[in-house]
Every structure is written in structure tokens, then in C-alpha cells.
Structure 1
Amino acid sequence: MNKLTGAMAIAATLAAGIAFAAPASAATNPYTPGSVCGSGYHELDHHALTGATVYLMYDGATDCVVTIKTAAIGTKTDTESILEVASNPVQVADDEGYYAYYAASRVRAPGVCIKWGGMEGNSIWETSAWGHCG
């Protein structure tokens, strides 16, 4: 057996005896759209972003938009939720700041069309048309 073959055999034997730790699982956000908006809300829609998901929630009278972070959880990053109501004048509820878990906006708007959206870091999304008019 030459030196190279012997060294490879020793390395293989050593590697077999080493226990490698599994990579740590990604942090999970302890907040859900329901826990942020409150009881009685149900999901109407959602949109995935890089680093977050924006949810549109409704309880029959009040819309709640919440941007739940899926990356950099626990680290304050620029996060936003926005909700516009087609009233005269247009009402805007906007929650933007450096948040560790979520941003949330809420407006009472039964039977009125809305626009909704959100942002996390450089990933931005907003609906292009008025909708959810019930």
C-alpha cells in the first residue's frame, strides 16, 4: 500500500467515526396572520415575497393586511403593510418601519373596494387594481 492509499484509508476511517451535526433549522416566525389581526378574521388572499408573505384578512367589516417575515426573523428590517380604501377621499393605512417579525395595517371598509400590498427589504408588491369589493 502506498502512502497516498494509506492516508485515504485513515481519513475514511476517521470520517466514519465523526458525527456531523445537522444544520440548524431556519427560525420560524412565532406570529401568524390570525394572531396579528385577531380572532374572527379569515384569509381572503396572500402574496409571497422574497423574505415575507403578505396576507389580506377580513372579519366581515374590517380589512387587515399583515406582512409576516419568512427570512431575517428576529432581525429588524424594513417591513411594510399597506391598505388603501376606495372612499372619498381615499383612506390609506400604512405601517412601515424596521420590524423583527411583521408589519400590519387595518381599516374598517365593509362593502368598499381596496388595494393592498407589502414589502420586506427590497421585495415590494402591491395590487395593481382595486378589488375585494365585498
Structure 2
Amino acid sequence: MHGFMRKAVLALSTAAAIAGSIAVTGPADAASSPIAACGGGSYHVIGHHDLGKIATVYLLYNGRTDCVVTWKKRAYVGKRTKMLASIAKNTGTTKHYNFKYTNNYGTYGTYAGPVKVTAPHTCIDWGGGTGPGWKVWYSGPSHCG
């Protein structure tokens, strides 16, 4: 009987620990850097744009996939504000652009994104935004390979 009680207590403790970690960890605001948000060390920053005092939009690349993350600056981390990360690849020609956007928009404490697109030898448009005062920026056609 004593062995059964020990196994039951261990099972309940494990279940409680797993439930607690699920409640605390969410998909947004879980990474420690833009590289981590995109998926790890194979990504590197190939572009960025400052959104004033609040955040920076980062474009990262891993040799195949472009990734965008809008990352808050230190003073604003934890203050939940509206944020946007956006990326698109051109599905038209270089003379007649037709971008299909993938966006991550919401209220976040650290970052918006990641949003990704695989677009070798194709123009992309990338950008992001943040509030208060909603400041938004897009690159226009870029990295056209």
C-alpha cells in the first residue's frame, strides 16, 4: 500500500508541474531574442528598422526562409501594447508586384511574430508596427535576389 501511495503522489506532483508550466508558458513573448523567436541559431539578421523609442523590426534569414519579428526595446518590455510583424513575397512580376502578406498582430509585452516566408530569388516586403501612437513601417520591394 505504501508503494501505491508514493506512486500516486509522484503522479499528481508531475501532473501539477506540467499543468503549471502550460499555464505560465505561452506562444507569444516566449523567446529571448529575435533569433530565438525565428527558430534558433541558423537565422541571422539581414535587416532592421527602428520604430522610434519603443521597438525595432528585424528581418532574419537562414539561407532559405525569411523571418520578421518586431522586438521591443528594453524600457518597454513587459508593457503590453499593440504590435505587428508582417512579411510577404511577390507572386507577380518585378514590374507588377502582387504581395500576399502574413501578419502577426496583437497585444504583446515583448515581441510580435515570428512571421515567415520562403521566397528564394523573389522580392519580399517586410515591416512592423507598434503603439502607443501606432508607428508602422514597410520596406517596399526588397531582397529581390
Q: TM-score, normalised by structure 1?
A: 0.71
* Partner SS state of residue 106, structure 1: strand
| Deviation for aligned residue 1:100 | 0.8
1:54 aligns with 2:57: yes
* 2:105 counterpart SS class: strand
Indicate conservation of the 8 Å contact 1:31/1:101, yes or no. no
CA distance in 2, matches of 1:118, 1:33: 13
Instruction: Give the Cα separation in 2 of the matches to 1:58 and 1:49.
Output: 20
| TM-score, L = length of structure 2 | 0.66
Give yes or no for the alignment of 1:112 onto 2:116: no
Which stretch has the larger CA shift, 84-93 or 102-111? 84-93
In 1, Cα distance between the equivalents of 2:135 and 2:32?
Answer: 20
CA distance in 2, matches of 1:92, 1:100: 23
Gapped regions of structure 2 (runs ≥ 5): 1-30, 93-97
1:124 to 136, 142, 145: 136
- What is the distance in 2 between the residues matched to 1:92 and 1:126? 11
Distance in 2 separating the partners of 1:95 and 1:130: 20
Identity %: 40
5+ residue gaps, structure 1 = 1-29
Larger Rg: 1
Aligned to 2:77: 73
1:133 is the counterpart of 2:144: yes
Letter in 2 for 1:115: D
Number of aligned residue pairs: 104
Q: Which amino acid is the alignment partner of residue 63 of structure 2?
A: G
CA RMSD of aligned residues (A): 1.5
Residues 73-116 of structure 1 deviation map (CA, whole Å, 9 limit, x = unaligned): 11210000111110146321100000111011111212211011
Point out 4+ residue stretches in structure 1 off by more than 2 angstroms. Answer: 88-91
1:34 aligned partner? 35
Contact 1:58 1:64 in 2 (8 A): yes
Of 80, 83, 87, the residue aligned with 2:91 is 87
Give the distance between the partners of 1:90 and 1:97, measured in 2 at CA: 22
* 1:21-79 superposed Cα distances (whole Å, 9 cap, x missing partner): xxxxxxxxx73111111221111110111200000001111110000011421121000
